[in-house]
Amino acid sequence: MKASPRDQRALLDLAELDSRIRRAEAARANPPHAARVKDLLARRQTLSQELTGLLGARDDLRTEVSRIESDVAVVDARRARDTERLAATSNVKEAQGLESELASLARRKSDLEDAELEVMERLEAAEQAVAVQEELIARTNAEGAELSAAGKAAVEDATRDLEAAGRDRRAVADGIAADLVALYDQLASRNAGAGLLTRNTCGGCHMVLSGTDLGGLRRAEEDEVVMCPECGCILVRTEESGL
C-alpha cells in the first residue's frame, strides 16, 4: 500500500488518541476507590447486623430494669399499706405478723435494688456498645459517601475526556486517506496499530529490529506503508528513525 508520509505520521496521532480513549474507558468502567467502596458496603452490612444484636441486648436490659422497678413499686406499696395497718392495729398477734412481713419486704427491696444496680451497670455498658457501633457505622457511611462522590466525579471526568478524544480522533481520521485508516483500524484490533521507528526500535512493541529488517526498511520508498516484522503494526518512519 502507498500513503503519503504526512498521512503515515498522522497515524501516530490516531494511535495516541486511541490510547487516550482506552484509558478513559478504563477509568470510567473502574473509578478510583471502587474496591474500597465495595468493602465499605460489606462492612456496613456487617456492622448493621452487629448493631441489631446490640440493640436487642440493650432493649432486653431496659425491659429488665423496668420489671425490677415495677417490683420495687409493688414492694413499696405493700410496705406503705402494712405500715399503716401496723400503726392502726392494737392486736399483738397481727402486729407481729405485720412486723415480720415488713422485715421480709425490706429484704426483698434490698435484693431488688442490688439486682437493679447490677442490671443498670450492664445496661450502661450495653448503651456504650451501641453508641460505639453507631459511631463506626456513621464513619463508614461518611467515608463511603466521600469516596462515592470522588468516584462519580472521576467517571464524569473520564466521560468528558472520552468524548473529547472521540471528537479529536474523528477529526484526525477525516484528514487521513480512508484506505490507510481502514488498515490501521484492522491492525489496531490486534496490536498498537502504528508505531514510530526510533533508533532501530518499533514504538508499537518496543522491539529492536534486526539489521536485515532495517535494511529492508531503508530500501522501501518513502510513501510505502511498511509493517513491523515483530508485532505487525504500521512502522512510521521520520527523521528520528535513523535509517
Which cell numbers hold the place of 71?
Answer: 417490683
**Which of 104, 133, 163 is at the close of a domain?**
163
pLDDT at 33: 87
Residue type, 45: Q
Query: How many domains would you assign to the chain?
Result: 2
Mean pLDDT calculated for residue range 165-189: 96
- Rounded to whole angstroms, what are the CA distances from 132 to 126, 141, 213? 10, 14, 71
CA dist., res. 134 & res. 158, Å (int) = 36
Domain identity same for 157 and 45: yes
Residue 165 buriedness (CB in 10 A; 0-12 / 13-18 / 19+): buried
- Rounded to whole angstroms, what are the CA distances from 36 to 141, 150, 151? 12, 12, 11
Residue type, 32: P
Which cell numbers hold the place of 228?
Answer: 513491523
Domain identity same for 113 and 213: no
The answer to whether 231 and 204 have CB atoms below 8 angstroms apart is yes
**Which of 163, 196, 230 is at the close of a domain?**
163
Q: How do residues 141-155 score in pLDDT, each as one tens digit?
A: 999 999 999 999 999
Whether the model pTM is above 0.85: no
Domain identity same for 120 and 190: no
Domain identity same for 91 and 179: no
pLDDT tops 80 at residue 226: yes
- Percent of the chain residues past pLDDT 90, beyond the cut: 84
Mean pLDDT calculated for residue range 83-106: 90
Q: How do residues 17-46 score in pLDDT, each as one tens digit?
A: 999 999 999 999 988 888 899 999 999 999
Domain identity same for 123 and 233: no
Domain identity same for 98 and 122: yes
> In terms of residue numbers, what domain contains 233?
5-26+175-241
Domain identity same for 9 and 63: no
Could you please report the per-residue DSSP string of 112-153? HHHHHHHHHHHHHHHHHHHHHHHHHHHHHHHHHHHHHHHHHH
CATH number at residue 213: 1.10.287.1490
Q: How do residues 97-130 score in pLDDT, each as one tens digit?
A: 989 999 999 999 999 999 999 999 999 999 999 9
Domain identity same for 22 and 78: no
CATH number at residue 90: 1.10.287.1700
Measured at the CA of 164, the angle between CA 159 and CA 167, to 5 degrees, comes to: 125
